[in-house]
Copies of this chain bind each other. A is one copy, B any other.
Amino acid sequence: MTAESYLHRAFLLAKQADPKAIRPNPFVGAVVVSENGEILGEGFHQKAGEAHAEVMAIKNAIEQGANLSACSLYVTLEPCSHTGKTPPCTDLIIQHRIPKVVIGSLDPNPQVSGVSILEKHGVKVEVLIIPEIVTLNDTFNINQILKRPKYVLKSAITLNGKIADRSGNSKWISNEKSREHVHQYLRTAADAILTTAKTVIQDNATMNIRIKDQPEEELNLIVFDSKLELLQKENQHLSIFYKRNKSAIYLVTDKAGIKPALPNVEVISIPMQDGLFNLEMLHKELLARNICQVLIEAGGSMNASMMQAKAVDEIYTFVCPRILMDNAAIHQFNSNQHQTMDNAVKLELQGSMTIGEDILLRHKVIH
């Protein structure tokens, strides 16, 4: 077996974790391989605050009677070198005299200098960057590098880019299977939905996770609601106010000092400038609440302002077999700014998928 194939095994282990259970940590998998190429230990990071992948794999190898001083460790991510909720993995590797470590991706966190610490202690380190391993930790990498959640924007559009007619009616551009896809994949992967009070009031959507033959699941909801309209009595019948046990509604406003009487409703107070919230501050507030990945499901104006603030990483667009031939229909991105072709936002096509007669396009935004 090659180094790549041991790393691939570690990658498959890493992927077994429930992404929400490990937040804000990355996916990590590790295997311990003997001198003659046999895998003697395996492990992956399963839950934030609990053992790292390296610890699990080394423990597993010891149970199998491995002579660690003659083994190699393959790990999908550069081992940690700092004390967080658990001691540094580099210490463990050094302590067990593991002579060689092969790493599938580097840690973007500047606090982590696992490679150099291991090398300083005489461990032979090989760095073999595997693109799919890097991609697996997309959310973690964005959190670390950009100090903000990963933002995924989802729209269902007519062929010609409209998300609703001029009166705001969007029911239904996409088909049922596409809408199921949103629940099963996009909402399930997100720690919260981000939307506006206008959308909440207009659509009266529940904004939770509904998957066929499964109990409904709660999902955090962040609502741009500068006027705190959702706290008004006439809006308290809205579907988002379902009984929440493990999720919250975060109302974002520039008003200060308001404590809602409603259960599981919290106000996040953020200053505004020119009618827009200071997103840098929002990013921090969300990360502090362990909200690492956000799904934007909103109208054209929020879509445009998040894009303009470079706070969209991926766009999922359901292109549906309809045309709304009306310039006053709601655009996917509603902006009156002048943009020339040369300054158009560049995307990178990640993939496409046919769902009935809808086509789901997945794009990465090149900022």
Shortest Cβ distance from residue A172 to the other chain B in the assembled complex, whole angstroms:
8
A31: Cβ under 8 A from any B Cβ: no
A158: Cβ under 8 A from any B Cβ: yes
Which chain B residue lies CB-closest to A161? B161
Chain B contacts of A341 at CB under 8 A?
164-165, 169-171, 173, 324
Chain B contacts of A317 at CB under 8 A?
159
The answer to whether residues A321 and B161 also contact, given A170-B341, A336-B328, A348-B357 and a CB cut-off of 8 A, is no
Alpha-carbon distance A352/B333, docked complex (angstroms) = 24
Shortest Cβ distance from residue A155 to the other chain B in the assembled complex, whole angstroms:
9
Q: Are A327 and B322 within 8 A (Cβ)?
A: no
Which chain B residue lies CB-closest to A335? B325
Copies in the complex: 2
Q: Are B347 and A159 within 8 A (Cβ)?
A: yes
Alpha-carbon distance A329/B70, docked complex (angstroms) = 65
Chain B contacts of A331 at CB under 8 A?
160-161, 327
A167: Cβ under 8 A from any B Cβ: yes
A166: Cβ under 8 A from any B Cβ: yes
Choose among B162, B322, B349 the residue that contacts A359 (Cβ–Cβ < 8 A): B349
A339: Cβ under 8 A from any B Cβ: yes
A315: Cβ under 8 A from any B Cβ: yes
The answer to whether residues A324 and B349 also contact, given A162-B161, A333-B160 and a CB cut-off of 8 A, is no
- Residues of A participating in the B interface, judged by any CB pair closer than 8 Å: 157-162, 164-167, 169-171, 173, 304, 307-308, 315, 317, 319, 321-329, 331-341, 344-349, 352, 354, 357-359, 361, 363
Would you list 19 pairs from A and B whose C-beta atoms are within 8 A, ordered by A residue? A157-B161, A159-B332, A159-B347, A160-B332, A160-B333, A161-B162, A173-B341, A304-B325, A307-B323, A307-B325, A321-B363, A322-B346, A323-B333, A326-B335, A326-B338, A326-B339, A349-B359, A352-B352, A352-B354
